[in-house]
Amino acid sequence: MTALLRVLIVEDNDDDAQLLLVRLRRAGYSTEYVRVDNAEALNKALQDGNWQVVISDYAMPGFSGLEALSILREQDKETPFILVSGTVGEEIAVEAMRSGANDYIMKDNLARLVPAIDRELRDVRERTDRRRAEDALYQERERALITLHSIGDGVITTDADGRVDYMNPVAERVTGWGSSEAQGHPLTEVLPLTHESSGIPIESPAAISLRTGEVVNLTEQCLLVNRDGQEFHIEDSAAPIFDRTNRIIGVVLVFHDATRERRMARQMMWESTHDNLTGLVNRREFTERLNNLLSSGNREHYEHALLYLDLDQFKVINDTCGHDAGDELLRQLSRLLLQNVPTSSSLARLGGDEFGVLLENVSVTQAREVADELLSTFSRFTYQWEERRFDVGVSIGMVPIQHDSKNASLILSAADVACYVAKEAGRNRVHMYEESDIDLGQRHSEMHWVSRIKEALEQNRFVLYRQEITPLSKDNTTPHCELLIRMCAADGSIIPPGDFIPAAERYNLMNAIDRWVIDHAFHHLQTFQKNGDKCIYSINLSGNSLNDDKLSDYIAQKIDQYHIRTGQLCFEVTETAAVFNLVKASNIIKT
């Protein structure tokens, strides 16, 4: 294939120019050319064209080859310039070469022209290819450097001896070393790593990677103390760098400053086991420690004890001075308790104004001494809020923990009961749990449920569950369901009826619960019936509600309000309740 050659000829004689072109065409070049013979024409041609080679005569009237060379090199350093003349001496040729000419050829030896042009074009191509490769490499390096400078992780590279080559800005900030300053220093000096808990030095993953040729991840709980004394929790990995012969020539270490994440994780862990207000262990962690104590060691020869403390006058302070005053009281008493319980014990805020103390490896006598000392401490304590002063007492329930003690829940329940007995006996005293306390404790527990039931009714925290009733006979095709009530605790957990119904029955709250069930059941049933639901729904009524003279009217009112088809209603009462309230049960049935 004929190669196209764009050639600019600086020559005043057109015949001489044509001789040059003939040489080129014979050598296989197809030429595009312009001939000029003065500076103005040369400048214009250089601006208008993209020339591969410039061939210039040395001597022309009013213009010279050296002038042409000077004009070319001011604008273009790369295009080959070949000087052709019949009278060029050696000194002039040397001057031309020094000024930037690529070759000089005598007119009586034009056989050298084409080889010279071939050589120069080849050199231009090689220089162009090399420059492109260098530009690409430079751009790649710049992109890599920009990336390393921009990422949020620290990056350090080392040589084969583990000495620092490069550090990005994050690595500089964390280590306290500048990149140029750290160059040549051992990585262990720039990035000294220790175990977070023990302080024992940790071998750098970079050193392991250099030794094994593998990617190495850093162990957990790694701490960096930089040259300024700052501590950083870091997570990192190291990977070897290989040359073309697969020889390790260094390592790249990438690390992440995990200080903030570790701090947040520790804070979350602390908050899951501690009370935010007082800083004491919370009920969940206290229960966990109690369970661990029960499951550890030889249970035949040990004694422990649990103290359950309930403040007296706390509600008065909260009601008269506000919750800020109550919170400050709890903080002060927490510090007071910490100063007066054995350091080996666990002190917790169990909730509200209740505290727990788990005493390990103490006899009953020793535990009683601790409890009495706490009573004495509280008797000397006076709480002042603004201009008001309050005496704050405490009632303490005590439960010995011995080899036959059951689970933590039962121990805490017994301690709560003992504390209640202490309050009932006049407050500001210690009571050790006895089996005879059970009945009183049950009544205390039921009274506790009374307030929770009332709150649930006020806050609409009951829910209804629908349970399908499966008939024994296959002939009965009408679906039947029973509606069951559950209570929602403040934390969202579901409480079964067995926990709160006994208290509701004892303290005459079943009427309110039954009415809540009727109202909400009818509300849902209205929607079900509109959607074509044919199910028959059973609703339980308590014996207390059967004694309610106004229950029949209430049911009738709700039927009218929600437009209920009564054929889909079934009220259930126990046989015992029906027998004891036969007349009223009959009236409801007739209604």
DSSP per-residue letters across 390-451: EE-EEEEEEEEE-TT---HHHHHHHHHHHHHHHHHTTSSSEEE--GGGHHHHHHHHHHHHHH
Mean of pLDDT over the chain: 84
Closest CA to 163 of 130, 194, 129, 187: 187
- Model pLDDT, residue 364: 92
Element (H, E) at 194: strand 193-195
Q: What contacts 344, CB < 8 A, 6 or more positions away?
A: 360, 361
Q: Domains in the chain, ordered, with CATH?
A: 3-127 (3.40.50.2300), 151-263 (3.30.450.20), 279-433 (3.30.70.270), 451-590 (3.20.20.450)
Element (H, E) at 485: strand 480-488
* CB burial of residue 409 (10 Å; 0-12, 13-18, 19+): exposed
Q: Say what percent of the chain tops pLDDT 70.
A: 90
- Model pLDDT, residue 578: 52
pLDDT surpasses 50 at 389? yes
- Model pLDDT, residue 381: 93
- Model pLDDT, residue 1: 46
- Confidence band of 439 (pLDDT split at 50, 70, 90): low
- Model pLDDT, residue 121: 85
Read off the tokens for 285: 């962690």
pTM for the complete prediction?
Answer: 0.50
Length of the chain: 591
Cβ atoms 93, 58 nearer than 8 A: no
Closest CA to 507 of 476, 558, 542: 542
The one-letter code for the residue type at 221 is Q
Mean pLDDT of 54-71: 88
pLDDT digits (tens, 9 = 90+) for 151-205: 668 888 899 998 999 888 888 888 889 888 989 999 888 888 888 777 788 888 8
Long-range contacts of 214-219 (CB under 8 A, 24+ apart): 214/240, 215/239, 215/240, 218/193, 218/255, 219/195
Q: CA torsion 24→28→29→30, rounded to 10°?
A: 120
pLDDT surpasses 70 at 38? yes
* CB burial of residue 46 (10 Å; 0-12, 13-18, 19+): buried
Cβ atoms 577, 585 nearer than 8 A: yes
The least confident of 332-336, 433-437, 547-551, 560-564 is 433-437
